[in-house]
Each structure stands twice: as structure tokens, then as C-alpha cells.
Amino acid sequence: MAAIGVLGAGTWGMALARMLCNMGHDVQVWSALPEEIDVLMATGKHPKLAHMELPEDLGYTKSIQEVSGNKDILLFAVPSVFVRSTAKAVCPYVADGQVIVDVAKGIEPGSLFTLTQVIRDELSRRQELSKVKLVALSGPTHAEEVAVDLPTTIVAACEDLDAARRVQSIFMNPKFRVYTNDDIHGVEICGAFKNIIALGTGIARGLGYGDNTAAALITRGVREVARLGELMGCKPDTFNGLAGIGDLIVTCTSKHSRNLTCGMLLGRGKGKEEAIREVGMVVEGIYALDAAMELKKKYQVELPICEAVDAIVNQGMSALAAGEALMERMGRQE
């Protein structure tokens, strides 16, 4: 069995911590918010996963040094905007050869790094950490379902397939099937951009559009993300697999999707801050928009769905006007 440190006590981190602990692994959870640890230890419950029972032998700590030391796996389960600060904090305690698994999804504005690249960038400040293995764990997954052992599939992606297979062997169980892929960049691009497409799908729902529109946005969304990914050197097959179309479908259709819900609120006329507040959790698609617009400019690629969502979220265009402009643009594409 493996010793696993979980960085982050949100819904996804805790759903995975519970699953791994129930598999017999030695799991310890850390949060940047000490009060979160206090609540979890006192109640054995996560406030946003009411149906999830946490194992009694699940460990907790308020020390980032303790959670980072002597672990077979370090699991980054913090929101994308906190990945760099968390990587900086753990850097002094990481051993060379450490396997780090990131389950957050996003692109860092400015650097345009994927999140494993952000972690690598921080760890590179210690030259002796050249052998650290970074794996992206991504796919069509909602914490609410993993928390109650509903069947789920996911992709462990790493350029070093041996590292991906190591993660596969630790996380795999009869209800949680893990596939491997060496196109880590493609998998992470899929994970970041599907949230934006889900925002767009939610906006369409909020405007009163139906299933036909949602299907169009999902299908054209796959092509939009793949078009960018191919220019970035990613493998086309990645976008047609679990990390691509699979994750896009679940995020654009599920009642558990924060991005879909936020989009619906935007489509009904709510402002960005009000919509995020009503969702009550991190909406990663909002944070991914700036990077998407930077990548559009860098690669000179058309991203009509992302552009329409950005126009609504960041430029104040009405959802109806942006939606009509998007439908007109999509009608002219191949």
C-alpha cells in the first residue's frame, strides 16, 4: 500500500482521499485553511458532500511539511489559482523522484503554463529535484459520484508512462478505472478548456435554448479545443477520449457541474460575481478565460465559443447578443 499526502480539502480532494483510504492506503489530508481540518476531524463529514462518510483512519494535518514528507504520492487538489503558491510551499520538503499527481484543471494566465508545468516551474528552483515525476489525473469525474462509489473512469497522463502506470496501479479499483496517456499537455488543455465550453452551454440554457443548442456547443467545443491543441503539438486522439469529449460531456450536462450552473445564472442575467457567489464553490472556467484569450492571440486561432463566453463574463456584452453572434459565427465554420 502507498503513503499519500493530499494537498487540499475541497470536494474533489476529499472524495479521492476517502476512496484511497478505503482501498487500504495510508492517506493524510492538509488544508491551507486550518478550520477546514478542524471541521473534518470533529464531524467526519465534508460540508458539501453530505452523503459521504469519511473513514476513521483517514489522517489530517495542519503542517504542510508533515503532509509532504515521506509520501509515495503527493496529490495536488487545490483550486488552479492556488497551485503555484502550494507548489512553492511544498518545494522545500519534496524529495527527488517524488511522484506528484495534479487533479486541478486550468491554465495559468501570463505564463500560459498548464498546472503540472506550474508545479515543475516552482520545483525547478531546487536543482536537485530533476527526477520528480508529474502526473495529471483528469477525466469525466464529479466528486459527488466518486464520494459514493459510483462507477467512474479517468486518465493518468505523463510523458513517462511508467509513472502514469504507477499512479494507475495505486488509484485503480473496481469502481474507479484508470487509463494511461503520455500526452499530458493535451490532457491538461482538455481539462482547462472544457470548463469554458460548459460555461457557454450553461449560458445557452439560461437563455432558454434547448438540447439542440447544447449538442452543437458540445460538438463544436470539441473541435475548438482540438484545433488549438493540435497547434500546440498535442495528439488529436486525446481530444476524442475520456479527457476530451468525455470530460466535456459530463461538465456540460451534469447537475453537479459548477461551470454549467454558473453559465445558466449568467444566461439569466446575473453578473459574474453574483453568479459565482450563488454557485458557492470555485468556478474554474471563469479563471481559464484570460489564458484562453492569450492562447488565441499567441496561436492566431479561432475560438468562437471561448470568445463569446469572454465577451459576456469579462466585457459586459449581454448573453443574448453574444449568443446570437456566436450562432452566426458557428454557421460559417466548417
Q: What gap in Å lies between CA 4 and CA 17, rounded to an integer?
A: 9
* Catalytic-residue membership of 272: no
The active-site residue out of 71, 105, 133, 194 is: 194
- Within 10 angstroms of residue 256's Cβ, the number of other Cβ atoms is 15
| Catalytic positions, written as ranges | 194
